[in-house]
Amino acid sequence: MTSEPMEDLLRAPQGAIDLSARETNASPGFDGGKKDGKVALLGLGAGLADLQERLFAHGMSGGHKNLLLVLQGMDTSGKGGTLRKTVGLMDPQGVRITSFKAPTPEELEHDFLWRVHRALPGPGYVGVFDRSHYEDVLIARVRELAPAEEIERRYDAINAFEADLVESGTTIVKCMLHISADEQRERLLARLNKPNKYWKYNPADVDERQRWPAYREAYEIAIERTNTDVAPWYVIPADKKWYRNLAIGHLLHHALSELHLDWPSADFDVEEERRRLAEEDPIT
């Protein structure tokens, strides 16, 4: 009994996608429960660290490859938790996180991709976008922050931008953290039950929540229009936090494995360097 690999099960299908038909509470590709899932995530840690160090070594040695993880999802879908539990498994030296908020006046003066360009990871780095240029076709569509033709133009602009990135050595992994409206309510209520979580609660989130169907539609359109072979979308059932963490850890591990990176070889004479260090005058 072989099941499909997790990355295939999570990959968004080509063509139209119906998010209401995709389970938010499932754990595709994993047979265990919460405890097993947490153990499995920690089990990924060493391999992930090794693969990430190879990528970093590659970048520090003149290579051009890097990785970009895009995290999108409704409020409370767990972008922060993913950063802590999954991204936190990697060496922070090689990770660069950018959290995209509402654009600043300076950012609004430029094309929507301007600020994204500035946040791209350098060679060898794992860049993580906590929200991203997809906000410009999600909230921007739902709240009509830009004319319809401009929104329309952006899907192609995103595809062209991402294709360029991939061409220049970036592996792109796009994850939509998919929770149910009921799960969001529970998470919002939980914030209200703990005074040390009040800071995470914003009454405007409840107003935004009323637009849930419009957001779902905006996600469906965005995923359909930008789910390219070079920069695929994954839809992560995210009601179970442990599964969300594990699934994204798995996708990172898989994407890094696919780079097949060896350790850079020495571009110097190892014996000669040993001799230099052994024979040098004492330094005081």
Q: Does 2 bind its own copies (CB under 8 A)?
A: no
Please name the helix (run of DSSP H) or strand (run of DSSP E) that holds residue 32, with its range, or none: none
Q: Does 93 bind its own copies (CB under 8 A)?
A: yes
Q: How far is the CB of 6 from its own copies (least distance, A)?
A: 23
Q: How far is the CB of 266 from its own copies (least distance, A)?
A: 4
Among residues 106, 203, 229, 260, the one that binds its own copies under rule CB under 8 A = 203
The encoded tokens of residue 262 equal 């060896």
Query: Is 29:240 a contact under the CB 8 Å cutoff?
Result: no
Q: How far is the CB of 269 from its own copies (least distance, A)?
A: 9
Burial of 8 (0-12, 13-18, 19+ CB in 10 A): exposed
Q: How far is the CB of 75 from its own copies (least distance, A)?
A: 13
Among residues 110, 111, 213, 257, the one that binds its own copies under rule CB under 8 A = 213
Residue 112 CB neighbours (<10 A):
21
Among residues 68, 69, 83, 248, the one that binds its own copies under rule CB under 8 A = 83
**What's the length of the chain?**
284
- At a CB cut-off of 8 Å and minimum separation 6, what does 214 contact? 142
- Contacts (CB under 8 A) with its own copies, residues 104-143: 130
Q: How far is the CB of 159 from its own copies (least distance, A)?
A: 29
Nearest to 248 by CA among 16, 21, 13, 29: 29
Stretch that binds its own copies, among 5-13, 145-153, 217-225, 257-265 (CB under 8 A): 257-265
Among residues 16, 21, 148, 266, the one that binds its own copies under rule CB under 8 A = 266
Q: How far is the CB of 107 from its own copies (least distance, A)?
A: 14
Q: Write the binding mask 54 to 73 for its own copies: x where contact by CB under 8 A, - elsewhere.
A: ---xx-xx------------
- At a CB cut-off of 8 Å and minimum separation 6, what does 94 contact? 52, 53, 55, 56, 124, 125, 126
Q: Which amino acid does the sequence have at 206?
A: V
Query: Is 261:45 a contact under the CB 8 Å cutoff?
Result: no
Residue 186 dihedral angles phi and psi, to the nearest 5°:
-60, -40
Stretch that binds its own copies, among 39-47, 136-144, 191-199, 222-230 (CB under 8 A): 191-199
Q: Does 284 bind its own copies (CB under 8 A)?
A: yes
